[in-house]
Each structure stands twice: as C-alpha cells, then as structure tokens.
C-alpha cells in the first residue's frame, strides 16, 4: 500500500496499491469531495496503472492548477518510475525504532 500526501487540493491523503499485474487496487482518499472521489476510486479499481496516469494527468479543479485525480496520477507515476519507496506503508513503529531493517516490502 502506498500513501501520498497531495498538494494544492482538498483531499488530505491518498492511498493505493499496484498489484502484481500492474493494476490499481485499494484506491482510497481522505478528505475532498466524498461522492466524486468514491466514484473515481471505483472507476480506477483494476485499471492498468499507466493507463490511469495517462487519463488523470493534467486534470484541474476550478482555478487550481491541479486536482485530486492529477495528484493521484503524480503519485502513481512516481511508483511506476521506481521513486515510491517513501510512500510505502511500513509496519507500525518500524520507522521510529531505528533498527535498520530496510524495506520489508521491497
């Protein structure tokens, strides 16, 4: 599971996973427009991650230069580009213990 804190939008947090087949799974938003974001989540479930990035990149919201879908696309793109390690969920407390266990999900 990846967790992303978006910038410049109403949603406060986004979570998603990419399954072994490269498809989006468990897409969730915290904050933002509940109905619209639930619809987006349902539509994205099972979609190939690269296709989702293509469809969502560049969408704006009102006068904002970005949107919740655009921010999600940016996060998914980072993961696809191999830059998503900082967004990976870690076991509770693992980051603060300092044991140098590395990433158990890699």
**Residue 105: per-residue pLDDT:** 41
Q: What is the pLDDT of residue 90?
A: 62
C-alpha torsion 48→51→57→61, nearest 10: -70
Which pLDDT does position 86 carry in this prediction?
86
| Sign of the torsion angle spanned by Cα atoms 45, 70, 53, 21 | negative
Q: Give the mean model confidence (pLDDT) for residues 41-68.
A: 98
56 or 88, higher pLDDT: 56
| Cβ neighbours of residue 93 closer than 8 Å, sequence gap 6 or more | none
Partners of 93 in beta bridges: none
Convert the pLDDT of each residue in 59-79 to its tens digit: 999 999 999 999 999 999 999
Do residues 56 and 72 make contact, with C-beta atoms less than 8 angstroms apart? yes
């Amino acid at each position: 599971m990846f967790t992303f804190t978006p910038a410049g939008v109403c949603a406060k947090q986004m979570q998603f996973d990419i399954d072994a087949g490269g498809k989006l799974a468990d897409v969730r938003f915290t904050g933002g427009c509940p109905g619209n974001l639930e619809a987006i989540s349902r539509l994205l479930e099972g979609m190939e991650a690269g296709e989702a990035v293509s469809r969502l990149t560049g969408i704006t919201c009102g006068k904002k230069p970005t949107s919740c879908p655009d921010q999600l696309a940016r996060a998914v793109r980072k993961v696809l580009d191999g830059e998503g390690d900082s967004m990976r969920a870690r076991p509770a407390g693992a980051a603060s213990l300092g044991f140098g266990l590395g990433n158990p999900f890699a």
